[in-house]
Chain A
Amino acid sequence: MTRSDKNPSNGGHAVKVRGLVKHYGGPQGTRALDGVDLDVREGTVLGVLGPNGAGKTTLVRCLSTLITPDSGSAVVAGYDVLRQPRQLRRKIGLTGQYASVDEKLSGFENLYMIGRLLDLSRADAKRRATELLERFSLTEAAKRPAATYSGGMRRRLDLAASMIGQPAVLYLDEPTTGLDPRTRNEVWDEVKRMVGEGVTVLLTTQYMEEAEQLASELTVIDRGKIIAGGGIAELKAKIGGRTLRVRPADPAELRAMAADLDASGLTGLATATVDAENGTVLVPVQSDEQLTAIVAALASRGYALADIATELPSLDEVFLSLTGHKSSAPQDAAPTREEVAA
């Protein structure tokens, strides 16, 4: 892939968005985007984290020329989204929330068609399609209609379709929403590989875990506004990082273990709490070093452990710590009745 697109005056940013505004249903309608600024450095992944209805998809649609923003500016891969949409389309790849491939065509035919639409010769389109099917482990299913693919296969085909034009910038709009954990891991591995090849990625997601897996920087969006941004580590520190969950082999040791941890000073400013119902002790941890030290301390004190796990904060917890309120939009995971009634 050519990296000759580097434009020094662009400050090494593959995506630069300033004051982007998009209304739906007239000026009195919803402000899907309410003055969004963001930058993605070349060759990095920016995660855009937010609940349903926060404006993530609207942002991606604006940046991929599918809709026109009402005001603001955006430059992607050196091209102005508003004034140079045609040139820009050669530089971007798009993988939507719903796999946007033609279900009635086979995997091969889908990729071949997109190759032809991207002005590859017949031979090149064929070669590229074969190459990408191989790479995304779809060779065996190449001749079957995409309608017969599993969710993960379809998402992989969608990713392959986005890669045909060797884009400089790739938009992934909730690439793993609705996938089971194993398939999710497969998609993550593919994304990591693409990033390794130098593609710049703008990733939208509802999952903190996904952002942590893929992104180096994170922007949190709510009701069309950016409410926090920065490096993943920085943001994690702000929102309290992970929670360590330890299960002693003997439930009778729960309280002693919590007290020991508090006394050790390893828990920092936080305290260990006992979750008697689940038979675990919970400790907020900020770093890998702290995590290691806690586990070592427990081992050296002779506790027999049945299970150790760390948990990332959920989207709700992230929002709670950033804004003091729960995310405003309805969640994928069935909204609670209380919220609906309130």
Chain B
Amino acid sequence: MPIQVLMPALSPTMEKGNLSKWLKKEGETIKSGDVIAEIETDKATMEVEATDEGTLGKILIPEGTADVAVNTPIATILADGESAADLAKAPAPAQKAAESAAPAVAKAEAPAPKTAPAPQAIAEPDPEVPAGTEMVTQTIREALRDAMAEEMRRDADVFVMGEEVAEYQGAYKVTQGLLQEFGAKRVIDTPITEHGFAGVGVGAAMTGLKPIVEFMTFNFAMQAIDQIINSAAKTLYMSGGQMGCSIVFRGPNGAAARVAAQHSQDYSAWYSSVPGLKVVAPFSAADYKGLLKAAIRDPNPVIFLENEMLYGHTGEVPKLDDFVIPIGKARIVRSGGHVTIISWSNGMSYALKAADELAKDGIEAEVIDLRTLRPMDTETIINSVKKTGRAVTVEEGWAQSGVGAEIAARIMENAFDYLDAPVARVSGKDVPMPYAANLEKLALPSVAEVVEAAKAVCYR
């Protein structure tokens, strides 16, 4: 029976890709290991190798087709003795067929992103953007790259260092094109040596340079956390104000998809508890750009927590010569009078979808994107809670000593008399991140949990 070749997933988060090129023609003989096609995501181009032998019977997806979903049949392979007439017998997509084509040696180990647009439930205009500003649609990945490129053009003291940031173009393609524009002096591939290069970055920053240190993920920054906290965060204070460091530590934080316990931790609470650090964790593409530019200009060490699941999301970014969003300001992205939902980074995806659900039941949620975790914009939270009398926090990290716990404490300290119900927390479950798809889903917050929590504090 003819074998179907399916569109392979190149990474845990890939849902679709472009079939950029066929390297074999219909009727050509194929041996196991032959490269038959090239497929491309916004992260990487990969070769598809045949795992079966035979003849390429029919190409089902022509080259140049964009957005081919994973597991779509892209071709059939005829075994010896089979002819085109047998093509009709090809089975429906099945697991067996999926295994018949595997991507060649994974050039990018890092998972590729979704390309779905970010939820567009934003009701409130961005106060940082003048009315009438032209907007461009960008992925968050592009917004980050543009922010770095703009700041590097502006200031020769800014440079990028990290693993695979230069020649590889970034493990998640965030630094794409920077090496070509700025050269190897300012876009520096480091050995796999987080503790060491974090210290090198801090030392360089102590002399007045402005490093952007990329961690392939913040999970690996645990190797470097001594330099981040003991050297970067504390030196200004320990030196009586003489010597600080302007440095950005950035990279993906928190859970990606199916990468298990050691690669899925959210460090929001860890870093945001440290005086001397600023901690930024944006959600929208515009905020990613404007806040990264602010972080690079900031004279203090800034932890810039990105989210891998969001890299491929698109959003509207203002076309302004110098779009900088001040660190330390939350944003009300949806206004409502019944309950305040507070989140940041990818937690906002649950929060915004939950707000849509709640609206169907007549509950108008006010959704606050904190954007910065330290310094925290307590005022915006408190003003909202004074209006709604109810609050729900949403985070992917653990609840104990979490950011939600901190927000709840601040609400209690500053708006206790305005509360009509105890503050509710929705968080990641109190377990290491499991690998199994169903368990992983259970370990993370869900829209349903946010809806439930909001209803509970509204006594509905």
Does A associate with B in a complex?
A: no
Interface, chain B (partner A; CB < 8 A): none
Residues in A lying within 8 Å of B, measured CB to CB: none
